[in-house]
C-alpha cells in the first residue's frame, strides 16, 4: 500500500534530489598533457580540457604559473572550436561563450596555451576561479553555476640534449688537462 510522505520525508527526498543534481553538474578541468618534460628554449602548447556533464553556455577561468621564472606565456590563449572568445576582465583571455548552442561532453577543448621554456626547473600550472567573480566558472544552461574540480599540470624544463653532451665533453677535456 502506498503511503504519502510526511513533511520530513518530502524534505529528505528533495534534499537528495538536489544532491544528485549537484553531483551531475560537476565540471572537471584539466591540462593535456597533464605532465610534460621539455628542453629549455622550447615553445610548446598545453590544452585545457573539461568534462562537462550538463550543458553550459559559457565559462571563465584563471591560470597561475607556480614558478614564472621557468615558463612564460607566448601568446593569448586560443579558444576551442565549440566556443566564441569572450572578454575576460582580468586580462588573461580565458573566457568563452557557447554559440550557437550550449556545450556538454567529455574532454571538451576549452582552449590552448603556448609557453616558452625560459629556464631549467619545474613548475605547476593551476586553473582556478575567483570566488564571487561572476565572469568565472561554468554557467549552466538551465540556471546557476556548475561545481568545479581542477587538476593541476606539471612542466619540467631540462637542459638541451646537446648541452649535456657538450658539458660532458668539456668536463673530460678539463680532467685530462688537469692530470698532465
Which pLDDT score, from 0 to 100, does residue 118 have? 97
CATH value at residue 142: 2.60.40.680
Average pLDDT, the chain: 84
Examine residue 158 and state whether it is found in any structural domain, yes or no: yes
Examine residue 82 and state whether it is found in any structural domain, yes or no: yes
Residue 171 or 116, more confident: 116
Examine residue 180 and state whether it is found in any structural domain, yes or no: no
pLDDT band at 9 (very low <50, low <70, confident <90, very high): very low
Reduce the DSSP state of residue 164 to 3 states and report it.
Answer: helix
Count the Cβ atoms, other than its own, within 10 Å of residue 27. 22
Query: Domain total for the chain?
Result: 1
Examine residue 178 and state whether it is found in any structural domain, yes or no: no
Examine residue 153 and state whether it is found in any structural domain, yes or no: yes
Lookup: cell for 123: 613548475
Residue 12 has pLDDT above 50, yes or no: no
The range of the structural domain enclosing residue 150 comes to: 27-167
Which pLDDT score, from 0 to 100, does residue 178 have? 62
What predicted TM-score, i.e. pTM, was given to this entire model?
0.77
Residue 113 has pLDDT above 80, yes or no: yes
Residue 175 or 4, more confident: 175
Examine residue 6 and state whether it is found in any structural domain, yes or no: no
CA dihedral 6, 8, 11, 16 (to 10 degrees): -110
The DSSP call for residue 38 is: E
Residue 86 has pLDDT above 60, yes or no: yes
pLDDT band at 116 (very low <50, low <70, confident <90, very high): very high
Which pLDDT score, from 0 to 100, does residue 160 have? 81
Examine residue 176 and state whether it is found in any structural domain, yes or no: no
Residue 17 has pLDDT above 50, yes or no: no
Query: 49-66: per-residue pLDDT in tens?
Result: 999 999 999 999 999 999
Examine residue 19 and state whether it is found in any structural domain, yes or no: no
- Give dist(CA 104, CA 97) in Å, integer: 13
Count the Cβ atoms, other than its own, within 10 Å of residue 31. 23
Instruction: List Cβ neighbours of 41 (8 Å cut-off, separation of 6 or more).
Output: 116, 117, 160
Q: Is omega for the bond preceding 51 within 30 degrees of 0, making it cis?
A: no
Amino acid at each position: 500500500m502506498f503511503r504519502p510522505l510526511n513533511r520530513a520525508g518530502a524534505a529528505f527526498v528533495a534534499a537528495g534530489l538536489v544532491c544528485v543534481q549537484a553531483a551531475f553538474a560537476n565540471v572537471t578541468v584539466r591540462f593535456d598533457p597533464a605532465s610534460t618534460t621539455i628542453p629549455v628554449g622550447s615553445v610548446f602548447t598545453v590544452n585545457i580540457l573539461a568534462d562537462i556533464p550538463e550543458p553550459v553556455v559559457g565559462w571563465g577561468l584563471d591560470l597561475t604559473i607556480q614558478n614564472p621564472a621557468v615558463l612564460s606565456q607566448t601568446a593569448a590563449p586560443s579558444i576551442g572550436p565549440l566556443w566564441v572568445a569572450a572578454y575576460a576582465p582580468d586580462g588573461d583571455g580565458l573566457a568563452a561563450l557557447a554559440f550557437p548552442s550550449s556545450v556538454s561532453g567529455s574532454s571538451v577543448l576549452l582552449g590552448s596555451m603556448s609557453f616558452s621554456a625560459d629556464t631549467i626547473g619545474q613548475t605547476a600550472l593551476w586553473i582556478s576561479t575567483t570566488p564571487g567573480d561572476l565572469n568565472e566558472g561554468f554557467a549552466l544552461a538551465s540556471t546557476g553555476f556548475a561545481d568545479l574540480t581542477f587538476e593541476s599540470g606539471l612542466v619540467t624544463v631540462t637542459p638541451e640534449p646537446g648541452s649535456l653532451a657538450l658539458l660532458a665533453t668539456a668536463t673530460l677535456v678539463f680532467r685530462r688537462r688537469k692530470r698532465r
